[in-house]
Amino acid sequence: MTTVHICPKCEDQVQISQPARLNEIVECAGCHCELEIVALNPPVLALAPEVEEDWGE
Amino acid sequence: MIRVVVVGAAGYIGGELLRLLIGHPEVETVAAVSSRFPGRRVDGVHPNLRSATDLLFCSADDVEECDTAFLALPHRTAMAQIDRWIARAKQVIDLTGDFRLGDPEVYRRYYGSEHVATHLIDAFVPGIPELHRESLRSADLISVPGCVAMAGVLALYPLAVRGLVEPTAQFDARTGSSGSGATAGAANLHSVRSGAMRVFAPTGHRHEAEISRHLGIAAAMTATGVEAVRGVQTICHATLRPDVDTSAVRRAFREQYRNEPFVRLVAHQRGNFRYPEPKILVGSNFCDVGYAVDEEAGRLVTIAALDNLMKGGAGNAVQCLNIRMGWPETLGLSFPGLHPI
């Protein structure tokens, strides 16, 4: 079973397979950001920390 | 099956048309017209078509009636020959600049000569499926836009049509060498082009007028030739209207392109290809579009990338043919591109 949630970055729909686990990382299909499940019952998604890229800034 | 003719078949766009049409399940390619190579084998000029066809180039005078004629001629040549091709073909799909602009005065300003077929300008439907799909279903005269214009239009149309941006925008376009055509010249020597980032049109690029026409805003363009054979990337800089935020921009793109088979929204947070990149679109008919917003400054940046010979030319022309004939829009156009390349 999956549940549908909203990506906090791009507002696209994100499907989470149940049962979900706390701190599990899922990927948004809309913006490809990594999301961390920071709470269960109900599930809450937050942006996962990420290393910045630098192409010459 | 319909019978099609490619006129100007020895050029890069002509070669791509042949590649696509020879592989198209509903099309029989009956003639490849070239004024330079009549009687020569097509695969001598387009070696990627070896074993795909035994066609020989022919002269325009050798062509009998057909269903559809694709004109991949030099600019100004199509309008000089247009009556001939209308008489021989039920549909004419023109890939030159001759019928892209709706106003002969604008044409004269950007192309430097008088239009010689003004009576037909209004009869041509712009070959932009994303804007004119319904008109294309019954169009017998179709004018396919320029490659940079196609990218520029798709980059900003969702915002412009909804009135979410101020009515002026700047377009910074980068293009590969195949956009210059297959005719040799000093400007296209390897020694000149290799490693160069040549600003060849800081102002006044012809496609600027097309973008203005289709977006209904004042577009200003700068075009630069870069170290690539294929590919166009157009970056648009615009100012958001007050109270327009990232969410509204995102919603506009999603609503506009949700059902488009060849436009993909690419504004990713991770990976090496976060924004539209022409490199991975080579040979495909996709146009990838993306955006970024500086809400504090009210600044919008949109990006579009495509293969100039495909969605910027031959592929888009075949997409228009598919729409006109009522076939699936993606027929013969399913190649997804290459990675790595």
Let me know whether B91 and B192 are in one domain.
Answer: no
Sort B249 into a burial class: Cβ within 10 Å, 0-12 / 13-18 / 19+. buried
Out of B247, B250, B269, whose CB is closest to A32? B269
Residue B15 located in a structural domain: yes
Question: Could you tell me the sign of the dihedral formed by the alpha carbons of B90, B17, B319, B126, in that order?
Answer: negative
| Residue A56's pLDDT band (cuts 50, 70, 90) | low
Let me know whether B228 and B162 are in one domain.
Answer: yes
Model pLDDT, residue B179 = 85
Subunit contact B270:A9, Cβ cutoff 8 A: no
Work out the minimum CA distance from B250 to partner chain A, whole angstroms: 8
Which candidate, B8, B12, B6, B9, places its Cα nearest to that of B182?
B12
Count Cβ–Cβ pairs < 8 Å, chain A vs chain B: 23
Model pLDDT, residue B304 = 98
SS3 helix, strand, coil % of chain A, rounded to 5?
Answer: 0, 40, 60
Model pLDDT, residue A52 = 63
- CATH number of residue B169's parent domain: 3.30.360.10
Question: Catalytic residue among B66, B147, B236, B287, which?
Answer: B147
Let me know whether B228 and B277 are in one domain.
Answer: yes
Binding-face residues of A in 8-37 toward B, CB within 8 A: 9-11, 27-28, 30-34
**Structural domain count, chain B:** 2
Q: Is A3 on the interface with B (CB under 8 A)?
A: no
Work out the minimum CA distance from A21 to partner chain B, whole angstroms: 23
**How far, in Å, CA of B281 to CA of B334, rounded?**
12
User: pLDDT (tens digit, 9 = 90+) per residue, B229-251?
Assistant: 999 999 999 999 999 999 999 99
User: pLDDT (tens digit, 9 = 90+) per residue, A24-52?
Assistant: 999 999 999 999 999 998 889 999 876 66
Binding-face residues of B in 268-297 toward A, CB within 8 A: 268-271, 274
Let me know whether B152 and B288 are in one domain.
Answer: yes
| Three-state SS at B288 | strand
Q: From residue B335, give the alpha-carbon distance in Å to each of A16, B240, B262, B290.
A: 31, 36, 11, 21
Work out the minimum CA distance from A57 to partner chain B, whole angstroms: 16
**How far, in Å, CA of B230 to CA of B308, rounded?**
6
| Nearest chain B residue to A11, by CA | B247
- The ranges assigned to domains in chain A are 2-47
**How far, in Å, CA of B286 to CA of B336, rounded?**
8
Q: Which residues pair with A45 in a beta bridge?
A: A37
* CB B111 within 8 Å of CB B118: no
Catalytic residue status for B320: no
Domain of residue B39, residue span: 2-144+313-325
Interface test with A, best of B270, B273, B277, B289 (most A CBs within 10 A): B270
Model pLDDT, residue B212 = 97
Mean pLDDT by 10 residues, chain B (341 residues): 98 98 98 97 98 97 96 96 97 98 96 96 98 98 98 98 98 92 81 90 94 98 95 98 96 97 93 93 98 97 98 98 98 97 92
The CATH label, of 3.40.190.10, 2.20.28.160, 3.40.630.30, 2.60.40.420, for the domain at A2-47 is 2.20.28.160
Provide the ipTM. 0.75
Subunit contact A50:B269, Cβ cutoff 8 A: yes
